[in-house]
Structures are given as structure tokens and as C-alpha cells.
Structure 1
Amino acid sequence: MHAIAAVTLAVFLVVTGVMHFLLPDYFRTLVPAWLRRERFLVAASGVAEVVVGALVLIPRTRSAGGWAAALLITCYLVSHVDALRCARPDRPRLLERPVGAVARLVVNVLYVAWAVAVAGSAV
């Protein structure tokens, strides 16, 4: 079961990282405006996700990759907290409303827990 969770996390990270380059406009909408440099941040985080996913995929580096994934996803929480701060009930997109912003935050906290579980089980 632990290997399945790790491989699934690795595939998730690699696919998401690649999607940063296939759908950069979408990922730029997730970067808080005050961070600026959206193009750079989207590209850098895409590369980071692919690299971290590869680390998780390789059994010998799985623990380090799991911890790196947890750290990387924790960094993304800034974006989700900012989305919650800016959320308004009258926004057209669900992810820009309070319920959507809370869902984004909760899901990403679960991703962090998944990565920590993979890191801990790889030891």
C-alpha cells in the first residue's frame, strides 16, 4: 500500500508539473498578485514538481522526495490562504468564493499530509 501511495504521489506531482507548461495561464491565476513574476513562479514550481515527483518515484530517494513534496506543497499554502483572504461570495468562479477557497486550502493540507505519510513510510 505504501508503494502505491508513493507512486501515485509521484505521478500526481510529475503530471501537475508538466501541466504548468501546458496550461500556464491557469496556473498564473493561482499566484497571488502581490508576489508578481507569475511566469517565473509558474515555470519554477512546474520544474520543482517534476523533480520532486521523480525523487518520490525512486525508492532510494523516496523519503527525501516525500519531505521535499511536503515542503513544496506547504509553500503553495500561501496562494490558498491569499485566495481565502480575497474570496467573495459574488465571484463567478467557485474557487474565488469562500467555499471554494476553503476547499482549496483543505485539499492542499491533505496533499501535505499525503507527502508526509509517503516520506515517513519510506524510511
Structure 2
Amino acid sequence: MKTLLNIIWLVLSGFWLFIGYMVAALIMCVLIVTIPWGIAAARIGVYALWPFGKTVVDTPNAGVASLLGNVVWVILAGWWIALEHLLSGIALCITIIGIPFGIANFKLIPVALMPLGKQIVDTP
């Protein structure tokens, strides 16, 4: 079932989310200072490509630097991206068929809001 949902997700929205996050990651990797956010955006892009069967967990050894980076991210871009995932998720949940895809968008909100200090792992 996860594979079928991932294939439908990939065709309908996952590919475009992946492209958007990867373009943002490439732009952020141009400057040395913004490379951590570029890596985080690439990680989100891979997660957005194939979200079913994966979950986001906190990195146990994330320190103060990731907290400060997340504060900067939230102020500059994170809340916009999280709002877009929230609105997309609500729109998808209007139909019964779209509910799993809306939930997938809701799963992207925490990592889009604060991406540093997070890991994407397979669900058991």
C-alpha cells in the first residue's frame, strides 16, 4: 500500500515538491554560510519525493547551532513553507481520496518549519 501511495504522490505532487526543494537547496549551497540550510532543503526534498513509509525524528546530538539555525530558518522561510503545506493538506483532505496525501503534507510541516536537527527514517 505504501508503494502505491508513493507512486500516486510522486505523479501528482511529489515530483514538483522535490524539484522545488532541490532548486532551493542548490541556491542555498552557493554561499558557504547557507550550506546547512541547503543540505536541510535537499533532505526535505528527498522526503517529499517518497514520504509514505518514512517519518521525521529529532537528532539526539543536535546542539545550539541547529537551534539558532532553525530560528533563522523560521523567520526567513520556514513559516511560509509550513503554511503552504498546511493549506495544501487542508485542500487535499476535502475529498476522501485526498486524505492520505493531505496527511503526507501535514507530516512535512514540522520538518519544513524547523529542518535542522532532524533525521528522516523508515517507519517500522
Is the radius of gyration larger for structure 1 or structure 2?
Answer: 1
> Relative to total residues, which structure has the larger helix share, 1 or 2?
1
* TM-score between the two structures when normalised by the length of structure 2: 0.36
* TM-score between the two structures when normalised by the length of structure 1: 0.36
